[in-house]
Structure 1
Amino acid sequence: MNHYQAEVLAVYRNGETISSNVGSFRMKAGDSLVLLTNENFIKNWGESTGFYLTSFIGEIPPPRYKGQRLFALLLVLLMIIGATFGRYLPEVGGNQLDMFYFAAIVAILMAWINILPNRKYTKAISWDVLITIACAFGLSKALQSSGAADSIATTAINFSKSYGPLGVLITIYLITTIFTEIITNNAAAALVFPIAYAAATQLGVDPKPFFIAICIAASASFSTPIGYQTNLLVQGLGNYKFGDYAKVGLPLNILAFIISIILIPLIWPF
């Protein structure tokens, strides 16, 4: 097993598991092997049908004492409580006591008491995710600054006015959905909100249904990994591809669209 950088832990043969003296055990056709591998195995196995990858755990973490685990749990609780109630506390040195403040304190304490080994400070950072998020913000800013996003939204909503409030509602939802998958939800809502308000004023209807549609559509980011930061975070951990989001997310987007268009006018009439 040198080629695959793997060690045999056990052999399964005829319903019996053999885990002792595996090194001198003579293998036969039909045996199933339980292997312990390193990261090079992923590169060498080449999607061979002879192997079935049950799980990938990466590096085996060092053992932790019970006191360290308990202290780490207390630090996480401190961060949650601080992020929740920090806004009601006075500023410290001109710094607002928000979630970033408490997360930074917890990270420093975890490093100080060696809960997080110093060799793993940067390994926990997904640089590709951070770079992609930064690029998405740049794309969002470019679309807003150039006026392209505003022009697209205005043209589409003006075109739908001839179909009445329901047509405008559908257009607002679709435009917001498309924008939130490309330029993040906050930017999508900020762009479409004033245009939707102007359209409601011109039609002489209550703008609340349009605002509800914007809120729902801006939050329904399922079809692309760049639509929201958490989508990117799970992409690397789950080894998902760009197309996987569309396969699962697009039906969810359509379902959310249909339900919203039916219920919004009933609950918040024009």
Structure 2
Amino acid sequence: MIPWAVLFSITILLALLISGRVKPAIAFVTLAAIFLLLGFVDTATLLTQYTNPALATLLLLLLVSLALERSPLLDWLSRHLLKGHPRLATARLMGITAILSAFLNNTAVVAAFLGAISRQQRIAPSRLLIPLSYASVLGGITTLVGTSTNLVVNSFNLSASGSELGMFQFSLVGIPVALITLCVLMWRANALPHHQLEDTNEKLSYFLAADLEPDSTMIGKTIEKNGLRSLEGLYLLEIERHGRLISPVAPDEQLQAYDTLVFTGEVGKVQALQRFPGLHLFGHQADNLLATNLVEVVISHESELSGKTLQDVDFRSMFSAGVVGIRRGEKRLEGQLGKIPLRVGDCLLLAVSADFRQHRNLDRNFHLLSGSFTRPQLRNRESLLSLGGFAAVIALATANVLPLFHGLLVLLGGLLLMKVISLAELRRRFPFELWLIIGSALAIAQALENSGAAGLLATGMQGLFSGYGVYAAFIGCYLLTLLLTETVTNNAAAALAFPIAWRTAHAFGADPLPFVMAVAYGASACFLIPFGYQTHLMVYSPGRYRITDFLKIGLPVSLTYSAAVLLITPLVFPF
């Protein structure tokens, strides 16, 4: 009964992750704590998982990346990549992105190019942003440090076998798979929507809410008489009055005190509301908007705003800015601005004060799309030392001269000594949730083993594929991981699939390494929907994409990627 109870609890965990109602860190830590109380894992084992050397290496890599992502090299590349013919520019963008993502955090690479792509007028951003995100994923599969998923799998492999995976062990399969898939992505990029910023019928729309003060001269007059039907670049969608929505709004509708007027509009046309007396644009007097600096940002996957409304947080105090618009893909959001739960990937239009750039929590919460505000960059000397030091660490680890953990620790100490990064920045950006998820997942995997649940799963996999051989079981483990990564997060998928793949390999008497690689490559195979991977969410609203756009491009990419992985992996890593 105990193995079945453990498997049932894993099923509940998976359901919670898919529903999105519980954050992954909370779900994994809670289940690990339950297993500890029930005796499936002891205290010493639990604590050991949180100090797993491979997990510590992952955390160090993410902390060192805080300096690398501020290098002016990324901004220089973003300014020069999009020159020349659009097809050539797209190919160049994808190639450079894949190469950079093999060694740098792919979120940082996408963030560096996101603003430049969104601001330029030569090529429609919608033709570039999905290729940018997918190329960053494909580059990440080629090295141990290319993506956190590979390092997560390395953590599990170290815990299970006592040995770590090599720096370029992933390259033997990853590079040919990436090249083949990039060719298909280049071909399918022509099918992406063509949302030009200057197209009259497809203006970049925001969801705007403006409150009518009780002393406004607009009260008692109709929409028509107030001139709200002839706004250039803005359109009145609905009115919220005493908790109910009036939509559509008739021309003879009379305005009342405390009405909330809901508009869609272009970024540059928000100031059109400044001529209406007594109209407040979500905390900003509309007639003061001409004096403000409008900045467009995307909510990052690290943001503490995710899942909260603007009324839940003191946004103005946190950032010295007010939100004047929200956009989520091409979807028009319903209801009052301050009551909308924010999501990772939402675009916010901010009216910022002069103190905005002084806030230290901007990098954690936002990726900049447009506006005069720019992130602080490293000086050239600091950039050369940071990039050179990182390259030296990778080279020494590859040559087995200095372990990766040791090299990254020395590099981090050097960056702190040179004041390239500060202790305060490390505290703000420490990937605490990721540490909790992976440490707890390692403990859960140990509980699966100790309770006999892992053996039960392996027996089931063996029975399912016994008539088809070990290769069929290998395909089954890959497809299981792919299904998990499309429905939950990539790191959670790797954590849940690894113990199943490991025990299945042993049940067939096969070398576990190809099964380990199947989990690693399968956990990065998130191409079909935007919600399972952080870089997809980053480009979702700036590209004004629909979910069907990801499916249309992602399906051939996913099929090509999967076929290449399933064919090449057994050739490189025999059973």
TM above 0.5, yes or no, is yes
Aligned: 1:174 with 2:95: yes
Partner of 2:41: 116
Q: Which residue of 1 aligns with 2:152?
A: 233
Measure how far apart 1:268 and its partner are: 4.5
Answer yes or no: is the 8 Å Cα contact 1:68–1:115 preserved in 2: no
Match of 2:133 in 1: 215
Task: Give the equivalent residue in structure 1 for 2:332.
Answer: none
Pair 1:86–1:243, CA change in 2 (3 A): closer
Deviation of residue 267 (structure 1)?
A: 4.7
The Cα shift of 1:224 comes to 0.7
2:470 is matched with which residue? Answer: none
TM-score with structure 2 length normalisation?
Answer: 0.31
Q: Measured at CA, do residues 219 and 230 of structure 1 come closer, stay the same or move farther in structure 2, by a change above 3 Å?
A: same
1:88-114, Cα deviation, whole Å (9 max, x unpaired): xxxxxxxxx312112111111100010
Partner of 2:168: 243
> Over aligned residue pairs, what C-alpha RMSD do you find?
2.3
Q: Structure 1 residue 71 and structure 2 residue 5: aligned?
A: yes
Matches within 5 A, 1:50-89: 67-87=1-21
Pairing 1:1-270 to 2, within 5 Å after superposition: 67-87=1-21, 97-125=22-50, 127-155=52-80, 157=81, 160-161=82-83, 163-199=84-120, 201=121, 203=122, 205-220=123-138, 221-235=140-154, 237=157, 239-268=164-193
Change beyond 3 A, Cα 1:180–1:241: same
Native 8 Å contact 2:144 2:168 kept in 1: no
**Equivalent residue of 1:103, what SS?**
helix
- What corresponds to 1:44 in structure 2? none
Q: Say which one has the larger Rg.
A: 1
Corresponding residue number in structure 1 for 2:312: none
State the shift of 1:84 in Å. 2.7
The whole-number CA distance in structure 2 between the counterparts of 1:137 and 1:170 is: 28
Shift of 1:269: 6.0
Structure 1 vs Structure 2: percent identity of aligned residues?
Answer: 16
**Higher RCO, Cα 8 Å, sep 6+:** 2
Q: Which amino acid aligns with 2:101?
A: T
CA distance in 2, matches of 1:121, 1:153: 44
Greater share of residues in helix: 1
State the Cα distance separating 1:128 from its structure 2 match: 2.1
Q: How far apart are residue 78 of structure 1 and its match?
A: 2.0
State the distance in 2 between where 1:126 and 1:228 align.
20
Aligned counterparts of 2:25 and 2:141: Cα–Cα separation in 1? 26
- 1:181-229 deviation line (CA, Å, top 9, x unaligned): 2222222221111222234x1x1x3221101211211221211111112
Contact 1:143 / 1:149 at 8 angstroms: preserved in 2? no
Pairwise CA distance, 1:251: 0.9
Gaps of 5+ in 1: 1-66, 88-96
The normalised TM-score by structure 1 is 0.62
Paired residues of 2:55 and 2:152 also in contact (CA < 8 A): no
Cα separation, 2, equivalents of 1:165 and 1:255: 21
- Contact map agreement 1:223 1:250 (CA 8 A) in 2: yes
